[in-house]
Each structure stands twice: as C-alpha cells, then as structure tokens.
Structure 1
Amino acid sequence: MKVHAAVASALRDNGVDTLFGLLGDANMRYITDFIEIEGGRYIGGVDERGVVMMAQGYARVGNRLGVASITHGPAVTNALTSLTEAARSRTPIVVLTGDTPAVRGYIQHIDLPALVAPTGALYQRMHNPSEVFDSIAIATRTAMVARRPVLLDLPIDMLAADIEPGRSRVRSTPPHTTAPGEDALDHALGVIASARRPVVLAGRGAVLAEARKELLLLADALGGPVATTLLARDFFRGEPFDLGVIGTVAQLPAAEILAESDCVIAFGASLNRYTAAEGSAFDSKSVVHVDTDPAAFDAFTAVDAAGSVST
C-alpha cells in the first residue's frame, strides 16, 4: 500500500467525509485516492486562503472537524491569515500540507514550523511512512480536543513509499465531564443569589454545547433576560426577553437594560473587548464566567467567579 493511499484511508477511518483543497504536487495523489478509492467528497477552491476558510466555515456551522489540503511552500504562506483566524476563533481544523523534496536549494522550500508558530496553529510532522495512520489520527483528535487548527506536514518524499495496510492505534478521546470545585461553585452561587438584575449571556461555546434550553431555564428561574455575543447571534431568537447581541454592536434598548443590570452570568463567551464594549458593558457589575477553557478566565475581562465545565 502506498502512503498516499494510506492518507486517504486514514482520513475516512477518522470520520472525514469532506475534504476542501487546492491541488498541487504535495497532495494530488492522496486527494485522488480520497475521491476515487474512498468515495469522499472533495470541494476545490481557487486559492489556499479560501480553502482553509471553507474548512473553518464547515467546522463552525456543523460543530465538527474541518479538513483542508494544500500543497507546499508558497501555498502555506497563502494560508497564514486563515490559520490565524482559526486559531483565534478556536476552530478545530486540520490542514494537510507537505514538506518539499529533500533537495538542496529547492526553490519552494520554507521552514514550516517557524512559519506557522506565530499564527497560533499547532504544527505536526509525519517523520516516517509507517507513522501515517497515527499521524492522521493524532492530528484529528488534537484539533477537536484542543479546538485549535493543526497543520499536518506529510513530506512529499514519503508519499510514494510502500507500507503495510493497517489502522491507527490511536483512538479518539471523548471530552471528560468536569466541574468546578465546591468553593468556586459556592462563591458563584452566592454572587448569583445576591444579584437583583442578572443577565444570562451565551457565547459560541454555549451554542456548540446546545445549551439553549438550560440557559433559558436558568434565566427564567432568576427572572432575568438573556443575551448573546456576536458569534452566538440569534441563539435565543423568538424569546420574549431576548436582548440580542450585547457589546459594541448592541441595540440601544439592550445596552440600556445591560447598563441597569448588576450581574452577568456568561457561558462559553470569551468576554473580549467587543463583547465588553471596551470594558464599559461590565462596569460596576459582578461577572460569573463559565467556560471549558480555564485560560479564558480573566483573559479580557476581570470576573468575580469562574468555573471550568466540560460536557
């Protein structure tokens, strides 16, 4: 079995049925195998930036992994803006590329790890042909668990190598259910219980967790309205006490009600400068922040209580 055929097979084994791409020397063989042998769907683009953005849109709309394939050298430089966007929006995508032939002075050669590092994406390399099945499995798992883009380097010199057919020994790890410590939970409940005009705020994380019903029940129990960040827009559409988007693009009635509130309970929202309206949206308010990523706490907005929860 050729490595390029193994790449196509491993993609399918790891649940990839749609591949976005732009053909080149480094990827045309396994893209052909993905279509003709594995029966996958291939959607081509006109430039690498657009290809990676298509994979992002696919991932974000469907709450799933997006996979794109581009060739080497200049193709990766063309995709840097899209990789940066994926990293900053915590979008799980895998971008397949391939190091250039091991020829001195090869005109398209570029230092891929150094190039990718500033974007915030993760770099992973297949070091020998026998790693192909594990490399694909690790990249797809890492992207989903870390919610970050992974640039997977499949060197072109290895794609024609012969290997034994097989499957990866690496298996997808489901997210673990966690909860904040008792002290943190008691403190958060105390902050919420003492609030007179609370607002329940949903971010994109709440949308991905499909937590609409639970957040509406919470808001109803507290007697407060609901609101969203821009990336969670319309999450509560149709609800009578939906303020819509808050922050720098908030409508005047929503901004006024938020200004009169004394507590914001945020779920899956980064509370960045746009949501916080440069800080003014949360002035003189208690903020309770719930997120799956502990690094999100106090990253943009100081909070009074925080808890990491993963389901």
Structure 2
Amino acid sequence: MTQPRTGAQMIVQALKDQGVDVVFGYPGGAVLPIYDEIFLQNEIRHILVRHEQAAVHAAEGYARSTGKVGVALVTSGPGATNAVTGLTDALMDSIPIVVLSGQVPTFMIGNDAFQEADTVGITRPCTKHNWLVKDTASLSSTIHEAFHVARSGRPGPVLVDIPKDVQFASGSYTPKQKARTSHYQPKLKGDTAMIEQLADAIATAKRPIFYTGGGVINSGPAASQLLRELVEQTGFPITSTLMGLGAYPASGKNWLGMLGMHGLYEANLAMHGCDLMINVGARFDDRITGRVQDFSPKSKKAHIDIDPSSINKVIHVDMPIIGDVAHVLEDLLRIWKSKGRKTNAEAVAKWWDQINEWKKVDCLQYSNSETTIKPQYALERLEALTKGRDRYITTEVGQHQMWAAQYLGFDEPHRWMTSGGLGTMGYGQPAAMGVQIAHKDSLVINIAGEASWLMNMQEMGTMVQYHLPVKQFILNNERLGMVRQWQELLHGERYSQSWSEALPDFVKLAEAFGAKGIQCSDPKDLDDAIMEMLDYDGPVIFDCLVEKHENCLPMIPSGEPHNKMLLPNSSTKDAIAAPGAVLV
C-alpha cells in the first residue's frame, strides 16, 4: 500500500510525472504548502516572476518554443485574476498551458474571505476547461487530466483551482497511467472520402493556394515536414497567417509571405484570385478574411482542422476535413502518390506568372533616410546580422509586430512567438523569458515598441535574477504606433491619447535593473550598435529611436476585401477615400 501524501506533495509529484522541468510563478498565502514542497526538491525549477500575467506569458513562450505544456503557479484572488489576460491569450492562440491557482479553504468559499475570488467562474470563458478540486483524493488525477486536455486536440489553457485545506490534507496518489483521460479523445484521422475529394481538386486546380496557420505548428514537427513535402509535390504557392510563420520556410521557393491585413500584396491577391484554397490549420480570423462575403470569392475551399467548431464557423467550405494536421497530410500524400496524381502543370505555371507579376509591385518598399532610422530598416539590419544564428523571436503588439512579421524570415517552426488573436501588449518580454529558459544557449530577441514594452517592464528584474540574456529590441517612435496610424487614416488625424509625454531613459532604466542599455538614433551607427547588443552576454535593452510617424503598410483597410490594399507608394488619404482607384 502506498504511503499517503499531502495534496501539495501530490501536486509536485504530478508535475514531475508529466515531465515538467520549470514552473513560472509568484507565491502567496493560498499556495504556500505547494511552495514548501517545491523548496524540498530539486527536479523542478521555479522562476519567480514579478507579476502573475508575466508568469502565464512566460509559460506560453516556453510552450510555443518547445511544443511542451507550460506551467504557471499563482495564488488566490488577485493572483488568479492577474492570470486572466495570459489565459485568454493562450486560448485565442491555442497554446497548451496549465495554470495552478490557490484558493481559500473549502469551508470559507463563498464567505468573501481574504483574497477570495470565484476563479473557476472568472476563468471559465478563457480556458479549455477548469476544475475546482474540493477533495484531496481526486487532486492528482485532476492534474493529470488537466495536462491531457491542455495538449490534446486543439491545444489550449486549463486551470486547476486548489483550496488551501486540500493542499494540507492527505490521500492516495493516482499515477499518470491510471488517471481519467479516455473521455476526451479528439478525432485525429480525417475522413478518407473527403481527403480523396481534395486530392481530385488538387489535380485539376488552375489557380491554387495553400493557406496555413498555427495548427500546423501545434500538430508537431511531422506536420511541418509533411506540409513542405506536399508543397514540393504540387508546386503550389503557399501563404500563412501570423501564427503559422515558420511552418513552411520563408526561404522556400513557393513562399508568398504572410497574408491578411498587413500581409504581402502577392499573398493577398493570390488568395483573392485563387480557384482552390486549401486551409491547413487556420481559423479564418477576421484579420485574414477582411470582408467575409468577398473572401476568396471564386474558389473551392478546403479546411483541415482538428477543432470541429472551427469548420464553417466563419467561412463556408466545400471540403471540411476534421482531424489532426499531421495525420490528414500524411493520408493526403499517401492517396496522392498511390494513384500517381499530377497537377495541371500548364495552368499552375500561368498562375505563377501572374503571382510573379504581383511580386514586382514590391509592396514592402519604403523611403529610407540617411539621418533617421526607419523601423523597416532597423528590422532589415537585425535580420541580416542574426540570420543563420540559433535565433528565437518574440514580439509585443503593434506596428513593430507587423514589421517583424514582414521583414524577418523564419525557416523553422517554434521560432516565432507573438500574440495573434488577443493582441496582448506586454506579451513579448515575459514570453521571451520562457523561451530563454527553454533554450538557454540560444539567441532570444523581443521585438518591442516602447509603449508595449512598458506594460511588463518589471520583468527585467526576473531577467537579471536568472541571468537570462534576452535582448529587448525596442523600436521607439514615442507613439502608440498602430493607434496613431488608425487615427491618421480613419479619424481625421485627431491624435487622441496616442503618445506619452513622460517616457523613461531606457539606457538608465536598463542600468537601474543591472542590465546593459544601448541607444541608437543614427542609421550609420545601427550595425555596430546591433552587434554590441548581440555580443553582450547578458540582458540588454536596445533603445532604437525610429521615425515617429511611419505607417505600417501594405494594409487592407477595415471591412475591405483582399484586392483593396493600401500600398506604400499610394496616397493614404486618397486611397481611403477611393480605394478602388489605386488598387487592383
């Protein structure tokens, strides 16, 4: 007979059995028994963040860069409510994390006790599932179930709320192998008949395109390899959402770049003009579709997704295939090869001729300056000086995020971490901590705007404490850049509250935290300053002073279809007034 364990002991043992090697957290009264058990062991590393939101974002960064489940530990009340933004972010972007929250003792629940909150009620809309454990006997099994739910099917965040008396009480530990998981077994294999129908459509398509998303990356490394093989077999062009960058290499010959609101001209025009659109692991987000009724209007549509609720939710498709991306692509390739299928090579070649004409527009061109650093130039130089390195990129949210997606190239999955669905300012810095913890010898860079970066600036203390050499590359335009851009385009240049008049000296701020600070304002000095940042073996804040009123283009105006884009060489105000006049 196994020796009884306390709930706190069960929690730590369950984490070990799940292969957890790091937990991001912040202690408080309702989780002190768990922290005591963490103190008594050496297998699981605990990272003390400065804010609970950062703990969850760090768990996200760890999960996204490794493919494993990230873990955060927070206390009751404000500890749990501070985690809500990170949970919602993970839900929107399908990131597998487990958040363990402390709760007041069971006999005090509902009495408005000190630091009590209805954590399960509050987090129900922003988790895949959550649990309030009132019996120590079911605690270990629940934690194992939580990991299973987080990583299975469409990944996502889960939360386990654990009252303090449950942590103190004793009971029998349930091993991982005996935990209840059979009730949640998402469908992995796609419908064979529908996959064969898609193979037939591929064979006859004249203007095809692969539209890929984060589901390819979430499916694991096999999915990215199978996708690359399928693109090679068919010769079809491929584009991606913000979340899918790296699933197909940016250096690949069939790559069109990102599509959507700030996507490339050729990618958006190809999506609008295709006759077969194959969605692989994307959810038809509004930043991708534009005006729904005009989205890819002439195409047959296929959608491969493990989440049945995503099928026909936004865009009606002709070939819905519910299943795991890797399994479906494996079956599609097998069917394609077994029957000796061939594409309509002549028609596809003409399609490529059209796409290459669109590429000549050079939609990422910009007017450079010899006296002021343009943000695009800063990222071009960062790309050139870091290309080929063992590099991971995180971002905050705003113009800099879109420029990073446009000007940085990713040839592998799990190298790009950004807040896509929720658009969370303050995401990038703590996410970079999680990435650096997982990849201690790699180069980790957080691309930031000064406004987003200030949202979680306190985590520089965590970076210094744990010797995490993350580089904060701040494109400082002294503006809420994307807000200011929309105010220029849509609100008559009325710049309401879109910049701060009291920004810190970022070099002095870095030094106050014990990190290195670098400032650069002259394009001629930029390369040397970037190399100084890269060569320093600790955390750096790089304050890159850039053009204040640069707009992030190309851009599909809100509510417009893919073939109506604002381009860098068009008059912004004229294009808004009469977009059809300056566009295809």
Counterpart of 1:224? 236
- Tell me the residue number matched to 1:304: 318
- Structure 1 position 181, deviation (Å): 4.3
How is 1:40-79 mapped onto 2 (pairs within 5 angstroms)? 40-79=44-83
> Residues 256, 72 of structure 1: CA spacing in aligned structure 2 closer, same or farther, 3 A cutoff?
same
The answer to which of 297-306 and 189-198 deviates more is 189-198
Matched, 1:268 2:281: yes
Partner of 2:179: 170
CA distance in 2, matches of 1:163, 1:120: 28
Match in the other structure for 1:111: 118
Contact 2:187 2:323 in 1 (8 A): no
Q: Which amino acid aligns with 1:95?
A: V
Of 264, 270, 278 in structure 2, the residue corresponding to residue 257 of structure 1 is: 270
The structure with the largest alpha-carbon Rg is 2
Paired residues of 2:81 and 2:119 also in contact (CA < 8 A): no
Aligned to 1:286: 300
- 1:237 counterpart residue number: 250
Question: By how many angstroms is 1:68 displaced?
Answer: 0.6
**TM-score, normalised with respect to structure 2:** 0.50
Partner of 2:191: 180
Q: For structure 2, which runs of at least 5 residues remain unmatched after alignment?
A: 328-584
Q: 1:175: Cα distance to partner?
A: 6.8
> Within the alignment, does 1:135 sit opposite 2:148 as a pair?
no
Write the distance in 2 (CA, Å) between the matches of 1:117 and 1:128.
20
Q: Report what 1:7 is aligned to.
A: 11
Deviation at 1:177, TM superposition (A): 4.1
Q: Letter of the 2:224 partner, please give it.
A: R
* CA-CA distance at 1:164 after TM superposition: 4.5
| Contact 1:188/1:306, CA 8 A, preserved across alignment | no
Q: Does 1:195 align with 2:188?
A: no
Cα distance change on mapping 1:133 and 1:51 into 2, 3 Å: same
**Structure-to-structure mapping, 1:147-162, within 5 angstroms:** 147-162=155-170
In the superposition, relative to structure 1, how do residues 162 and 214 fare at CA in structure 2: closer, same or farther (>3 Å)?
Answer: closer
Secondary structure of the residue aligned to 1:295 is helix
Deviation at 1:3, TM superposition (A): 1.9
1:95 positional shift = 0.7
Contact 2:231 2:254 in 1 (8 A): no
Instruction: Measure the CA separation in 1 of the matches of 2:101 and 2:122.
Output: 13
Using a 3 Å threshold, how does the CA distance of structure 1 residues 164 and 221 change in structure 2: closer, same or farther?
closer
Report what 1:99 is aligned to.
103
Instruction: State the SS of the aligned residue for 2:190.
Output: coil
Q: Deviations over 1:15-48 (max 9, x none)?
A: 2111110111122332342353252111121111
3-state SS, counterpart of residue 159 of structure 1: helix
Identity of aligned residues (%): 26
Distance in 2 between residues matched to 1:35 and 1:54, nearest whole Å? 21
Partners of 1:219 and 1:72 lie apart in 2 by 49
Q: Given that residues 25 and 73 in structure 2 are in contact (C-alpha distance below 8 angstroms), is that contact kept between their aligned partners in structure 1?
A: yes
C-alpha root-mean-square deviation of aligned residues, in Å?
Answer: 2.2
TM-score, length-normalised on structure 1? 0.91
Deviation at 1:165, TM superposition (A): 5.5
More off after superposition, 286-295 vs 28-37: 28-37
The amino acid that maps onto 1:3 is G
Which one of the candidate residues 121, 132, 145 is aligned to 1:125? Answer: 132
Aligned partners of 1:33 and 1:261: how far apart in 2?
58
Amino acid at match of 1:21: G
Which residues of structure 1 form unaligned runs of 5+? none
Report if the CA contact (8 A) 1:18-1:42 is conserved: yes
Q: Aligned partners of 1:14, 1:219: CA distance in 2, in Å?
A: 36
May I ask how many residue pairs the two structures share in their alignment?
310
8 Å contact 1:94–1:149 — kept in the other structure?
Answer: yes
Q: Which residue of 80, 84, 107 corresponds with 1:80? A: 84
